[in-house]
Amino acid sequence: MSDVTRSTAAELGRRLAAREVSAVEVAQAHLDRIAAVDERVHAFLHVDTEGALKAARSVDEARVRGEELGPLAGVPVAVKDVMTTRGVPTTAGSKILEGWRPPYDATLVSRMRDAGLVMLGKTNMDEFAMGSSTEYSAYGPTFNPWDLARIPGGSGGGSAASVAAYEAPLAIGTDTGGSIRQPGAVTGTVGAKPTYGGTSRYGLIAFSSSLDTPGPCARAVEDAALLHAVIAGHDSRDSTSIPAPVPDVVGAARLGATGDLTGVKLGLVREFSGEGAEAGVAAAFREGVEALVKLGAEVVEVSCPHFDYALPAYYLIAPSECTSNLARFDGVRYGLRVGDDGSKSLEEVMSLTREAGFGPEVKRRIILGTYALSSGYYDAYYGQAQKVRTLISRDFATAFEQVDVLVSPTTPFVAFPFGSRTSDPYQMYLADLFTIPANLYGGPAISVPCGLSEGLPVGFQIMAPTMADDRMYRVGAALESAVPPLTPPPL
């Protein structure tokens, strides 16, 4: 494996700017790595060799012309298959969109192209981003580079695994209930969910619109911040995009890397410190907290009494929203159509198309959402969940009056073996126990590796107030500087 694929994105950007290496060489090295290992990892659903080399050539040409380029120009990126890419297959991990080539780019994708990032391809995911293991991808699972018999997390397991396996230095994920952070945690990589509305949803195939948030995956906190800075900021095509300046996340990551957290107050969430996490995860998390204390941080225990209700509230709100969002897959405008033999009505064709095109978890959630929204149940389920959402946001607001950030393990358990949580869907949902509150509140949260348990990576979650994304990068980079780096076994 070449040193190019081992480099951080920041280092690659510097070497490209110094013309020590060309963008074409960097792209080719990553394409070679993908060719060598992806048969075993299956991080990618589509590798865009031609598009990547073409984009890399144009960056090299721009540099020869002396154009001023951004810090990530020529750096490769993998993109979760839920973001639309013009002319490049986009499936959202579903059979219902097999073969679809979108006629437009997601805003994030155009911003990355404009910044000179080179898109390598599209990464595997649980169908429509519903799942915590990639086992619900219609195209087969992704395998965790740390142990190929275990899940890489989900829904963005492909993006996290591509970064962990050195197939890409950077990737884009989307986080609705933990789909960037939980895969980051179990693959020993960094995954950041920006403030909701801080990154555009235009071109993100919608699952739960009030929660879906795109963000960066990387092997280093500074790299995640560099990508965050490229993709964040107001987009007039997304009506929930926040019209405010993006916090200086790159500066914050560099400040954190100096290893001084004097005066920073960490809030330990009492409700997340009990029996929720397995012993090895809790131990690695405590060591992470101690490392931050050595850097000068102060620890305060805070209570967020409604966090215990976040998981039930989420599994009413998200399925309810998905029920409406997935109504667009009706076999008319794009994707699959089944049973249209001239004898069947539109309704029958729709029902047969959706039955054939959707997998089991998507169907369960559509049915669950339909139930939660139905007359007679609406107030008790969806309405009540929205009220609980208010109380969870108030818990965050109260906590942030006392502390700068909240910390917890990212996920209660390390990467689990395939098949161990698919028969009881609720066991799968528990993977997102600690990540969901930040989605309901809307604030930013990041997962940074903090150690190993049973030889597998453990993630440390840092949650910050809305639009204070810089804080999580500062604390995250400080943690990264204080714990030994994690390197997966060679593939």
Q: Of 280 and 312, which has the nearer Cβ to other proteins?
A: 312
**How many angstroms separate the CA atoms of 205 and 241, rounded?**
16
Site for other proteins in 401-440 (CB under 8 A): 424-426, 429, 440
Q: Does position 106 bind other proteins by CB under 8 A?
A: no
Q: Does position 149 bind other proteins by CB under 8 A?
A: no
Q: Of 166 and 307, which has the nearer Cβ to other proteins?
A: 307
Contact with other proteins (CB under 8 A): which of 2, 49, 110, 384? 384
Q: How far is CA 365 from CA 31, 175, 208, 278, 424, in A?
A: 36, 17, 11, 27, 14
Residue identified by tokens 């397991």 is 157
- Side by side, which strands form the sheet with 405-409? 44-47, 118-123, 76-80, 170-175, 213-218, 190-193, 445-453, 456-463, 405-409, 265-269, 298-302
Site for other proteins in 273-332 (CB under 8 A): 306, 309, 311-313, 315-316, 323, 330-332
CA-based nearest residue to 80, from 131, 44, 38, 27:
44
Q: Of 160 and 349, which has the nearer Cβ to other proteins?
A: 349
Site for other proteins in 161-200 (CB under 8 A): 196-197
* Beta-bridge mates of residue 448: 460
SS3 of residue 380 by DSSP: helix
Contact with other proteins (CB under 8 A): which of 49, 273, 351, 481? 351
Q: Of 161 and 313, which has the nearer Cβ to other proteins?
A: 313
Q: Does position 364 bind other proteins by CB under 8 A?
A: yes
**How many angstroms separate the CA atoms of 434 and 59, rounded?**
41
Asked if residues 134 and 155 have their Cβ atoms less than 8 Å apart, the reply is yes
Among 133, 179, 447, 453, which one carries the catalytic annotation? Answer: 179
Q: Is 200 a catalytic site residue?
A: no
Asked if residues 353 and 336 have their Cβ atoms less than 8 Å apart, the reply is yes
Per-residue x/- mask for other proteins, residues 243 to 272, rule CB under 8 A? Answer: x-----------------------------
Q: Of 86 and 254, which has the nearer Cβ to other proteins?
A: 86
Count the alpha carbons within 13 Å of 123 in the hemisphere toward its beta carbon: 37
Beta strands in 95-208 (DSSP E): 118-123, 170-175, 190-193
Determine if residue 178 is left, alpha or beta; phi over 0 gives left, psi from -120 to 50 gives alpha, anything else beta.
Answer: left
Q: Does position 202 bind other proteins by CB under 8 A?
A: no
Contacts with other proteins: how many residues (CB under 8 A)?
A: 72
SS3 of residue 447 by DSSP: strand
Q: Of 376 and 484, which has the nearer Cβ to other proteins?
A: 376
Q: How far is the CB of 339 from other proteins (least distance, A)?
A: 9
Q: Of 233 and 383, which has the nearer Cβ to other proteins?
A: 383
Q: Does position 49 bind other proteins by CB under 8 A?
A: no
Contact with other proteins (CB under 8 A): which of 17, 283, 391, 491? 391
Asked if residues 181 and 125 have their Cβ atoms less than 8 Å apart, the reply is no
Q: Is 155 a catalytic site residue?
A: yes
Q: How far is the CB of 293 from other proteins (least distance, A)?
A: 31
CA-based nearest residue to 432, from 448, 452, 450, 408:
408
Q: How far is the CB of 465 from other proteins (least distance, A)?
A: 12
Site for other proteins in 448-487 (CB under 8 A): 466
Note the helical H segments in 188-268. 221-231, 249-257
Q: What is the 3-state secondary structure (H, E, C) of 261-321?
A: CCCCEEEEEHHHCCCCCCHHHHHHHHHHHHHHHHCCCEEEEECCHHHHHHHHHHHHHHHHH
From 246-254, 288-296, 340-348, 401-409, span contacting other proteins (CB under 8 A): 340-348
Q: How far is the CB of 51 from other proteins (least distance, A)?
A: 18
Q: Does position 490 bind other proteins by CB under 8 A?
A: no
Contact with other proteins (CB under 8 A): which of 14, 101, 294, 328? 101
Q: Does position 122 bind other proteins by CB under 8 A?
A: no
Q: Is 179 a catalytic site residue?
A: yes
Contact with other proteins (CB under 8 A): which of 386, 418, 452, 468? 386
**How many angstroms separate the CA atoms of 138 and 412, rounded?**
26
- Residues with a catalytic annotation lie at 80, 155, 179
